[in-house]
Structures are given as C-alpha cells and as structure tokens.
Amino acid sequence: MKAQFWSFDVIFAMIIFGSALILLTFVWVNISGQYSTAYGLGLQTMQAQLQSLQGRVLTRGTPQNWNSAINVTNTLTWSNVSIGLGTGSGSQLSPGKIAALAAMSNYNTLTYESTKQLLGVGYDWYIAINSSNSTLAMGLYPYTRNPYAIQVARQSAVLNGVPVSVLIIIWTNKSFGVG
C-alpha cells in the first residue's frame, strides 16, 4: 500500500503543481515590480511638473502681458503664450492674469484642456488663492473626482497688497499603468 501512494501519477501531479506554482510566483513578482516602477515613475513625473508649475506661478509669463494679448474664450489666440500669474515684482500676483486664467480654465472643457499645455502640465490641475476672507479657485477640484494620485504644493504671495497662500495641486484619476 505504501508503494502505491508514490506511484508515477502522484509524482507527475506534484511536478506539474510545483512547476505551476513556480511559474505563478515568477509572473506575480515580475508584474508587481513593473507596476511599482510605473507608479513610482508616474509620481516622479507628477512631482517634477508640480515643481515646474510652482516656479511658473510667480513669473510674468510670456509675453509679459499675455492676459491682454488673448481672447480667453478662443484657444486659437493662445499660441505662443506661457502662463505666469506674477507681476515680475517679487511675489506679487497680477489680478488681471488671475482673472484671465480663471476665465480660460472655467469656460469649458476644451479651454481647460488647452490650459494644461500653457501651464506645462500633462495632468489635471487646480490652483486656489486663499486670503483671510476669500478664496479664488481655478481648474478642476480633485477631491470631487475620485483622484488616483495627487501632488500638492503651497507658497506665499501677495495679491493687491494682501498676503495670500497659493495652493497648487497636480492630480489624476487614471492609473499610471504597467509598463
């Protein structure tokens, strides 16, 4: 009876089961490594774009008076424009440039999508300028859209002589994927 348990059928079945287990482990480790690499690179890209946008917010943009050189509802007039919200005087923000970006980003989906390139980001964005008694928001608020990944930065600035806090968020509700 003991010899029958170790027959060729059982040994063959154990070899097949062991091989399948080893193959499954190899595939699992490989896919897990690819996913973590893709996710990590996606977060690095988001962080780099956030830092770029954070530095760009206080610049004047190109041309320096870009807000008066465009029609905020016509994306064809936006060529050769780089958005900056600053006046060029330290951390001063320009009310006209803020109003123009708010109008551009909040007009419709097409104009919002076009602002991404002008801001130098490939992900969705949200900027809120907070003072002690008001908040001005531009872009798409991420927390109502089921975000997958978010990168956040804050910086201080001055708007109309009043200190403000600028909240800058880069976000996506799509997976970074594998590969």
> What distance in Å separates the CA atoms of residue 130 and residue 167, rounded to the nearest whole number?
8
Q: According to the model, what pLDDT value does residue 43 have?
A: 79
Nearest partner of 82 among 97, 61, 68, judged by Cα: 61
DSSP reduced 3-state for 148: coil
Per-residue pLDDT reduced to its tens digit, 87-128: 988 889 999 999 999 998 887 777 888 888 888 898 999 999
Contact 73, 112 (CB under 8 A): no
Angle at 105 between CA 134 and CA 58, to 5 degrees: 65
Both tokens assigned to 59: 């610049």
More confident residue, 42 or 16: 16
**Confidence label for 8 from pLDDT (cuts 50, 70 and 90):** confident
Can you tell me which residue has the tokens 């962080």? Answer: 47
Q: According to the model, what pLDDT value does residue 3 have?
A: 54
DSSP reduced 3-state for 140: coil
pLDDT mean over 57-80:
87
% of the chain exceeding 90 in pLDDT: 35
More confident residue, 158 or 25: 158
pLDDT mean over 47-53:
91
- Greatest mean pLDDT range, 33-37, 80-84, 100-104, 162-166: 162-166
CA atoms within 13 A on the CB side of 94: 21
At residue 63, φ and ψ (nearest 5 deg) are: -65, 170
